[in-house]
Amino acid sequence: MRIVVDLNRCQGYAQCVYLAHEVFKLNGTEALTYDPNPDDARRLQVERAAAACPVQAIMIDRLDGAGRGARS
Amino acid sequence: MTLSATLAELVRDFRANGRIVIVGASLAGLRGAEALREEGFTGSLTIIGDEPYEPYDRPPLSKQVLKGWVPADHTALPRFREVEAQWRLGVAAIGLDRATKQVRLADGEQVPYDRLLIATGTRARQWPDPAEAALEGVFSLRSRDDAARLQQALAARPSRVLVIGGGFIGSEVASVCRELDIPVTLTERGSAPLVGALGGVIGEIAAQMQRDHGVDLRCGVSVASLEGDAAGHVRRARLSDGTTVEADVVLAALGSIRNVEWLQGSGLAAGFWGVGCDAGGRAFDINGVVTDSVYVAGDVARAPHVLYEYQFLAMEHWDNAVFGAEVAAHNMVNLEPHYRPHLLLPGFWSGQFGVNIKSVGVPPFADEIVFTQGSVKDRCFAAAYGRRGRIVAAVTFDHGKWLEYYAHLIEESAAFPPPPPGWDRPDVMKPVPAEFPAPGVPTAIPDVVLTGHDPNERRAEFRPRGH
Amino acid sequence: MAEETPWQQALRYANRADPYPFYAELRKTPVARQPDGTYVVSTYREIVTLLHDPRVSSDVRKLPARAPAPAEPGAEPITEAVIELEPNIITCDPPEHDHDRRTMTRHFFGPPHAPHQISDLEPDIRRIVAGLLDGMRGKTRIDVVDEFAYPLPVTLICKVLGVPLEDEPRFHAWIETALDALDFGPEAASEEMRSRLAGARRSVKELAQFMSGLLGQYAERPGPGMLSAMVHDGGPDGRMSEGVLVSNAVLLLFAGHETTVNLIAHSVLTLLRHPEALEELRRRPDLIVPAVEELLRFESSVQFWHTRSAVEDIDIAGTTIPAGAPIFLVYGSGNRDPERFTDPDRLDLERPDNEHLGFSQGIHFCFGAPLARLEVQAAVGEFVRRVENPRLVVDPPPYRHNQIFRGPRHVLVDIDGIRD
């Protein structure tokens, strides 16, 4: 699956880290890094993390892999 | 039929049957395409990109990708809606004919448009000596492929990495090297890392942070030449101070070049700082006249900004690409008075050496800086930038939860220095010169730059009077 | 006597079950000065702005003693009397706050050290929930508060902290007494509330002594849980002083379950009032994740916070909050602000862009949020799945007295049975 975090919005509350620590990690106390294309098996965790973000900075692909048509 | 009814009918027809071409298939191009469909545009949409990949996110490349945690090809951007576009990936646009309204592609094809969105972004500035740049082990970092190659080189555990340039990319790469326990030397022509973006006062803190993490930091020097071995692999660099650095991986982090060459001859206001446009994303021509059919968004755009004396602002920021593309897309399929302005307070982040550096506003616009909260010693603080008694920017180190307070102050052009906080005051709260390099002093170009009042750096074509 | 302000009316016990009409009235003046000099902030934007304003202090020691004007007998200082402990992380400012919270984070959930500690508790949570629901078999009427919403969080917080569950009856009584005595409204001056106050003072003292004793035991002999870890390892920020340690231990124990009890009880109550939402959740169990966020918005467990004050004049929403003035940020009202949330009084389990204030924002963002989320998701999700045909017996149910930690005292529900 695909995600992106708006790190301008992110304030380092780290709620995502508690809920999906294989996908979201803190580097130090505030700097968030993450896996932009985590394994589909982690979908539930990632959705929980996105819902929990106090500033709603985590955005998840809404096409679910279908219909992207990125190649001509 | 009244004129306004005719116009409304034209807009309806354009939304249904028009042809829009987006040149640039990265963040701005993708979000622009999605926004067009969101706005109800159902006509034909073509997205042209010189890289063979569908749109991906670049910020992770210099961080989690280089570290080896995330593969370079795991950075594809999420999609928020169907765009139903013709994707022309792996083929660059090489020309624009505004008279016939066609984009010329590298493979010779001509793509006609009714409206065009230019989102070609920037590319990495390469090491200037082509022979030296061609040595094995010399890298630049902008694309997915760049990141994959550099990551491989780091994974092979080089004896030392030389990073040329102490801007954000260079500093982030140095940070990753230290996390991977790889010896690293960073050279910066200015007085300190990040000095172009954040000034000398913050640069000094960044310098100390780098040294504390074991970076061999050399400021005030440049790299004169790179030398390879018989096999054509880079081995050492000669610096301007006469010393040499033995390194088998060299990253040229020399900043970026805006991708405007393909617009040569198009008559658009395109130059070193990008393509001039109004605050609604409509491109200017070389005479400073706004066009009707060409729009610009992302790193390649420069537009006047209300908070900064209406100077043309060029921003290489993530949210500028997203928001600028959305605004341009909206304006492409709407009429006055429904145009929207691209009024974004610039903002960026950089994770390095375990510290989250965030900023809002335009720091290089400032002449002074004052620490407002926290502790410089702990690298956990907020500082405000001022110009002539008004706050114009702010920076935080691991103090991001406070940043929006400063953003509000900047939006209101509040007085500088801001009132002291009620607690956690820094040891020194006196404004001091922010120490930005004077124009012309070589250092990294900041990611957000005021580029003057002129929509076009090239000379306009003045018409003689009386004809 | 002057007419009561919307805020004073919202605080009346009779309006505890539904303060929202008064909040709506209150929001007409986003920053409203009260007769006692408190500034009550009720709109989303202004609340968020002040949560990020370094001119606002959360330190109880900076709160002025609120001397009531003779004409306003209702405006008695209450908080200060009850809270005689040293400041904890919610009632102090940086840098103390940052140091203490970092130390506590290190031993609680642990990023970047051990971020999995919380998710590792999930099997325990599910086991406790299952046990509580199993225990309802054969019953036709249950009290959601006493039999469900309370036992889960209290069991869990005891485990996390290392507080013996056998001591629950003692600390439960102390906490109840203290909570019931806290009042910021016109009823604070009543004979009843004054007498409660004396009891509350004793209770807080006993609770602090109990915690101090426990921390002392752990100092001699390390044990499982966070309290022992905090006694023995302060991390890079150093150990907290004895007094600060006790205050924060009391905070963790109390806030670590009371707010969750109210959230679970309110969640069940709210869903029973919205049968279509309940049915949707039964059909789509995954919906529990956004549903809990919406329930946090809809019935916030912390309705407002009372220890903030302006450290200098703050201009906001056309008002100047003068230096020294107490500031109440009313999360419960901000969460129903129509300027921020479309149709805010409607329960929408899939509400997009739900940036609610149920856990606040800024540096005092709820410390226990990750644990609370897991508990409520499990509890409410399983309740919906397993309880057959639940029907509210009394609506509105009786409420607890406390205005900040607002929640029903009992929620009686008739049921047809418990599914497997």
- Give the tens place of pLDDT for each residue, B391-450: 999 999 999 999 999 999 999 999 999 988 889 999 889 999 999 988 777 777 788 888
- The overall average pLDDT reported for chain B is 95
**C-alpha to C-alpha distance for C88 and C101, rounded to whole angstroms:** 9
- Give A32 to chain B, closest Cα distance, Å: 8
**C-alpha to C-alpha distance for C360 and C366, rounded to whole angstroms:** 7
Taking the domains of chain B in order of start, what are their residue ranges? Answer: 3-59+72-123+257-332, 125-254, 347-450
Cβ separation of B60 and A63 shorter than 8 Å?
no
**C-alpha to C-alpha distance for A33 and A23, rounded to whole angstroms:** 8
Tokens representing C215 are 């921390």
**C-alpha to C-alpha distance for B325 and B32, rounded to whole angstroms:** 5
Q: Which residues contact B9 (CB under 8 A, 6 or more apart)?
A: B1
Q: What is the CATH number of domain B347-450?
A: 3.30.390.30
- Output the pLDDT for position C65: 65
**C-alpha to C-alpha distance for B272 and B274, rounded to whole angstroms:** 6
Place B461 in a pLDDT band, splitting at 50, 70 and 90. low
Chains A–B, number of C-beta pairs less than 8 Å apart: 110
**Of A16, A12, A30, whose CA–CA distance to A60 is shortest?**
A16
Residue C65 Cα to chain centre, angstroms: 24
Query: Is residue B157 classed exposed, middle or buried when 0-12, 13-18 and 19+ CB atoms within 10 A define those classes?
Result: exposed
**Span between the terminal Cα atoms of chain A, in Å:** 22
- Give A16 to chain B, closest Cα distance, Å: 16
Pairing of strands B19-23, B115-118: parallel
Cβ separation of C109 and A18 shorter than 8 Å?
yes
Fold classification of C6-418 is Cytochrome p450 (1.10.630)
- Output the pLDDT for position B466: 55
Average pLDDT over residues B136-155: 98
Give the CA radius of gyration of chain B: 23
Angle, CA C249 vertex, CA C245 and CA C250 arms, to 5°? 120
- Find the length of chain B: 467
Q: Which residues contact A23 (CB under 8 A, 6 or more apart)?
A: A3, A16, A34, A35, A38, A42, A45, A46, A49
Chain C residues 319-358 with CB within 8 Å of chain A? 353-355
Determine the residue of chain B that is closest to C59 in CA distance: B423
**C-alpha to C-alpha distance for B390 and A48, rounded to whole angstroms:** 42
- Output the pLDDT for position C77: 44
Taking the domains of chain A in order of start, what are their residue ranges? Answer: 3-60
- Give C188 to chain A, closest Cα distance, Å: 34
**C-alpha to C-alpha distance for C403 and C331, rounded to whole angstroms:** 12
Average pLDDT over residues B191-207: 97
Amino acid type, B84: E
Q: In this structure, are residues B383 and B395 in contact, taking their beta carbons and an 8 Å threshold?
A: yes
Q: Which CATH superfamily is domain B3-59+72-123+257-332 in?
A: FAD/NAD(P)-binding domain (3.50.50.60)
- Find the length of chain C: 420
- Output the pLDDT for position A72: 35
In this complex, the residue of B69, B84, B347 whose CB is nearest that of residue A8 is: B347
- Output the pLDDT for position B459: 55
pLDDT by residue for chain C (420 residues), tens only, comes to: 578 999 999 999 999 999 999 999 999 999 999 999 999 999 999 999 999 999 999 998 888 765 443 334 444 444 444 456 889 999 999 999 999 999 898 887 665 567 778 888 999 999 999 999 999 999 999 999 999 999 999 999 999 999 999 999 999 999 999 999 999 999 998 899 988 988 998 999 999 999 999 999 999 999 999 999 999 887 777 888 899 999 999 999 999 999 999 999 999 999 999 999 999 999 999 999 999 999 999 999 999 999 999 999 999 999 999 999 999 999 999 999 999 999 999 999 999 999 999 999 999 999 999 999 999 999 999 999 999 999 999 999 999 999 999 999 999 999 999 999
Q: Which residues pair with B110 in a beta bridge?
A: B104
**Of C108, C127, C126, C104, whose CA–CA distance to C117 is shortest?**
C108
Place B460 in a pLDDT band, splitting at 50, 70 and 90. low
Query: For the domain with range A3-60, which CATH number is right: 3.30.70.20, 3.40.50.11810, 3.30.110.40, 3.40.50.1580?
Result: 3.30.70.20
- Give the tens place of pLDDT for each residue, C335-371: 999 999 999 999 999 999 999 999 999 999 999 999 9
Q: Which residues from B are below 8 Å from A63, CB to CB?
A: 79-82
Domains B125-254 and B347-450 share a fold: no
Tokens representing C214 are 């426990």
Fold classification of B125-254 is FAD/NAD(P)-binding domain (3.50.50)
- Work out whether the CA dihedral C57, C59, C62, C64 comes out positive or negative: positive
Angle, CA C154 vertex, CA C148 and CA C156 arms, to 5°? 100
Match 């605080």 to its residue by tokens: C11
Is residue B457's pLDDT more than 80?
A: no
- Output the pLDDT for position B447: 84
